Amino acid sequence: MESENQESQAQLKKPREVDFRARKFPVDNFVECLNVDGVSKLHTYRWPVDGTSAEKPPKAVIIMFHGFGSYVGKYTHMAHIFVERGYEVCGLDCMGFGNSEGIRGFIKDQGEFQRDGFNFVVKAKNFYNELYGGKKVPMIGWGYSQGGKLVLGIQELLQNELQDSFEGMILNTPNLKVDTSHLDEDFMKMLSEISDPLQTIPWPFKPLKDSDFLLGYVKDELQFLGPHYGKTYYENIEIQQHIKDNYKNITVPVQLVMAKGDSVLINDDMVQMMESLSTPEDKKEIKVYEGDHYIMVDGWLYEEIITNQINFLDRVLQ
């Protein structure tokens, strides 16, 4: 009990609101990426580790994918911790989010969305292969919420099309199934019948618990806050069956991060995913943290979460 009280006191001394403007990725658009339409530009980021070279590459490259509404450029508070521990970081703003082009908050097609992520990973792999003289540098798929689901979709494409794989995955509250228990049957029926992809809907999410610390974080011209598109929301409720079917083919190390009080997603689906993997048990890890869905931007939690991820990677990549 005494240690818990000490931890609580330590938390109170730390600011809970994350200052996402305090740092910036030092390199923008290190590879050129376009949406599958061949026209719309997608923004990429890179944060190298000081002193790395072909003779001394980083421990691994963390490839970041953001949550719905956000963008990788807001994740520097986490990225710099990886970099300081010898892990290079890169990432992609998906179509319609952050500094990438496209209609804000609109996902035209889940398959195209995953294809964009896959194309970026292939470009990043080629970039690092050339940069580090062909030395094998592990590529870690790291995703938050929507980004976690995207990592799983990219993994399936890597396996099926290139017989390739991430060397590990970090899935932070991955969006495998949205909690819709607060939405009535009429609303769900309306969603299922929407034919116009640009038809908007009322705010569909439960109110977040204990979320005042987010007010400053979301005051950002690039943060998507709505209006929400019904078809985008509906098709994002549950991960596609073909990606679920691929769980059993995944053998690489995976760490799952869950929020104990997640009011957005269903944690049971995340646990079932982990149980379905063919990854050896000693290379699977589930970490559960107190808090709601936005634990990765909680100033009281994110440092502990990222440090635990680094410790996991240090162990499984040996």
- Mind listing the pLDDT tens digit for each residue in 82-115? 999 999 999 999 999 999 999 999 999 999 999 9
- What is the distance in angstroms between the CA of the first residue and the CA of the last residue of the chain? 36
Angle 164-166-169 (CA atoms, 0-180°, nearest 5)? 150
Dist CA 115 CA 8 (whole Å): 43
Confidence of residue 12 (pLDDT cuts 50, 70, 90): low
Query: How confident is the model at residue 247, as a pLDDT?
Result: 99
Annotate 298-309 with b (16+ C-beta within 10 A) or e (fewer).
bbbbbeebbebb
Least reliable range by pLDDT among 6-10, 30-34, 187-191: 6-10
Does 4 score more than 70 pLDDT? no
Dist CA 48 CA 29 (whole Å): 13
- 2-316 to CATH, choices 3.40.50.2020, 3.40.50.1820, 3.40.190.10, 3.20.20.70: 3.40.50.1820
Query: How confident is the model at residue 6, as a pLDDT?
Result: 41
| DSSP state letter for 177 | B
C-beta of residue 89 within 8 angstroms of C-beta of residue 64? yes
Angle 148-104-93 (CA atoms, 0-180°, nearest 5)? 40
- What is the Cα 296 distance to its own chain's centre? 10
Dist CA 62 CA 83 (whole Å): 9
Quick one: CA torsion of 161, 265, 211, 309, rounded to 10 degrees? -50
Residue 7: Cβ within 10 Å count: 12
Dist CA 62 CA 45 (whole Å): 11
Q: Which tokens belong to 123?
A: 């470009």
C-beta of residue 25 within 8 angstroms of C-beta of residue 73? yes
Could you tell me which of 146, 220, 208 has the C-alpha nearest to residue 177? 146
Q: Where are the domains of the chain?
A: 2-316
pTM above 0.85, yes or no: yes
Q: What is the pLDDT of residues 223-253, one digit of tens each?
A: 999 999 999 999 999 999 999 999 999 999 9
